[in-house]
């Protein structure tokens, strides 16, 4: 692995962290630094929508307002560079395991609190190098499990 590939991998992993930070903080404008303007985001496996960055950002802001306490943990990242540049790094397929917790409050709640939602699965991104760095132009969520307290 050369230094450029190491730098690319670190930047892509940082991209995943920025995604989680944007969703968990509700600072939706931060998604502009995660996704390309023409990105397609697909949350249908988790009961959500498939749409453009703008459509999904509006949807997330609305749906997640009911869970002000949010935390995504992302790990087990695999990155496969498969672009068309001579270095082969203009595009990459990225898969990352995640778990998330959505809480009806930012205050301490008991584990049995109604509306506490937990889940996990895989985020599958297609990322590309842009003048502003690596950005996702496609995200497909693969839901593996989900629990909710009544």
Residues 136 and 126: beta-carbon distance below 8 Å:
yes
C-beta neighbour count of 38 within 10 angstroms: 9
**Higher pLDDT pick, 75 / 88:** 75
pLDDT value at position 110?
Answer: 83
Q: CATH number of the domain that 139 lies in?
A: 3.10.450.50
pLDDT tens per residue across span 113-135: 888 899 999 999 999 999 999 99
Question: Could you tell me the residue range of the domain that residue 88 belongs to?
Answer: 3-149
- In whole angstroms, give the CA distance from residue 43 to residue 36: 17
What DSSP element (H or E) covers 130?
strand 117-130
pLDDT tens for 90-116 read 999 999 999 999 999 888 888 788 888
pLDDT in tens, 15-43: 999 999 999 999 999 999 999 999 999 99
Contact 43, 53 (CB under 8 A): no
* pLDDT above 90 for 45: yes
User: CA angle, corner 137, sides to 32 and 27, nearest 5?
Assistant: 25
Total structural domains within the chain? 1
């Amino acid at each position: 692995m050369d230094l450029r590939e190491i730098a690319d991998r670190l930047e892509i992993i940082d991209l995943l962290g920025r995604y989680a930070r944007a969703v968990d903080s509700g600072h939706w404008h931060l998604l502009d630094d995660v996704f390309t303007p023409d990105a397609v985001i697909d949350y249908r496996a988790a009961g959500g929508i498939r749409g453009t960055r703008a459509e999904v950002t509006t949807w997330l802001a609305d749906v997640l307002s009911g869970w002000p306490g949010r935390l995504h943990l992302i790990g087990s990242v695999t990155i496969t560079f498969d672009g068309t540049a001579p270095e082969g790094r203009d595009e990459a397929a990225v898969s990352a395991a995640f778990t998330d917790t959505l809480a009806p409050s930012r205050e301490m709640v008991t584990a049995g609190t109604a509306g506490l939602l937990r889940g996990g699965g895989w985020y599958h991104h297609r990322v590309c190098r842009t003048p502003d760095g690596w950005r996702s132009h496609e995200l497909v969520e693969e839901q593996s499990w989900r629990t909710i307290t009544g």
